[in-house]
Structure formats: C-alpha cells, structure tokens
Amino acid sequence: MKFLVLTDLHQKKSCIDWINKVIADYKPEFTIFLGDVTDFGTGEEAAEIINMIDSDVYAIPGNCDPLDLPDKIMSAAHDLHGKSAEIDGYHFAGLGGSNITIFGTPFELDEETIYNKLKPISKKGMILVTHAPAFGTFDHIPSGASVGSPAIKKIADEYKPILALSGHIHEDRGAKMINGTLFCNPGPAKEGYCGIVTIENGKPDVKLIGPLD
C-alpha cells in the first residue's frame, strides 16, 4: 500500500499544482489529509480545495478549519473525523481538530473528548490519523515546549499503532520509530512539504518530500 500524506495547506491553492505533480510522480493509491485545509475558511472552500487534488482523499479537520468541515467535504472526500476505515486490510482511525491552544482556534477539543472519541474506533496495530500530535512526539514549538495531546499519547501507548500521522506543529517535521510505532509529521503543505507512506507486510516506511521537491 502506498499513499500520500498532507497537512496544513492553510488554503494556499498555489501549492495544488505541486501536490498533483507529486501524485503523478509517485502514484499513491490515495491521499490522507491531516487537516488545516483552510485558514479559518468555510466548509465549502475546503471542499473546493480537496476537489482540486487528483486523488481519492481521506480527510480530517485541523484546528483552523470550520466545525462543519466534516459534513461539507463529504462530496469531495471520505470523512475520517471520529471515524475508522478499513483500507487494503489496514485499520485507520481518525480524529481532527487539536487539543486546547492559547489561540482559541475554531476546532479545539479537550483531552477527555479526544480520548473518548478515539478509544471506540481504535484497534491494536492500527494507523492513527490525527491533526494534533501525541504529547512529546513532533510537538515542539520554537521555545522547545511540547504542546501535543496527552490523550493521543495515551491512545498510542494503549493500542500501539504501526503508524501515527499528525501535523499541526509546522516547526517539528520528521519521522521516528518509538516503541514499535512510526510517528510522522510530514510538514506543512503550504511550505511545500508532504510524505509518501508505503506499508509492506505490516511495516510502514515514510519518504519525506520537500520543500517543493
């Protein structure tokens, strides 16, 4: 299985041609969009952007997306917010929005809600798809502080996903294996970053792409 992972486009439509070139070059089977499709835009604008991507798309909202994004994108993408999907024999569990920030952005959830929404859709060995990162992993802001979600970390500790994908923190891009889980933040698409994930025999690998490769 091979798929493209995108996050944090923040409504920068000028990057769509580059995204479609990556799709043409790498030929992923589908795309996972980890949210912040818009920059405080509307659900209709999010659907318009996703429709411009030359791929089958599974999407969750980011904290800068509107609360109605999951409903409004259903004509353009598969909604993974608070939902699971079986794709090529792998279990994907998704949750958009972020944990509480100091900025009061539109799509924020408290830790109890994050945990309670993820737990019923989680399975051992899943692929975890969230906008916010797990606490302590690809969640460092320039000051060095960790601002990720303890609830997402708890889910990862309990269910041991083979792969945990997140965005949200533009400054902390990368991929790292921790306790049997490959954690990855592909970096913000608005700056020309993305990732290509391949999974063979249950073993994931990520090629980080950018800027504007």
CATH ID of 2-209, from 1.10.4190.10, 3.60.21.10, 3.30.750.24, 3.20.20.70: 3.60.21.10
Q: Measure the CA–CA gap between 163 and 136, rounded to whole angstroms.
A: 16
Q: How far is CA 126 from CA 5, 133, 140, in A?
A: 16, 16, 25
Query: What tens digit of pLDDT does each residue of 14-69 get?
Result: 999 999 999 999 999 999 999 999 999 999 999 999 999 999 999 999 999 999 99
**pTM (2 decimals)?**
0.97
What is the pLDDT, as a whole number, of residue 211?
Answer: 84
DSSP symbol at 133: P
SS3 95: strand
SS3 176: strand
**Mean pLDDT for the stretch of residues 104-122:** 98
Rg (CA), the chain: 15
Residue 20 C-beta-side C-alpha neighbours within 13 Å: 11
Question: Which of 40, 134, 144, 61 minimizes the C-alpha distance to 50?
Answer: 61
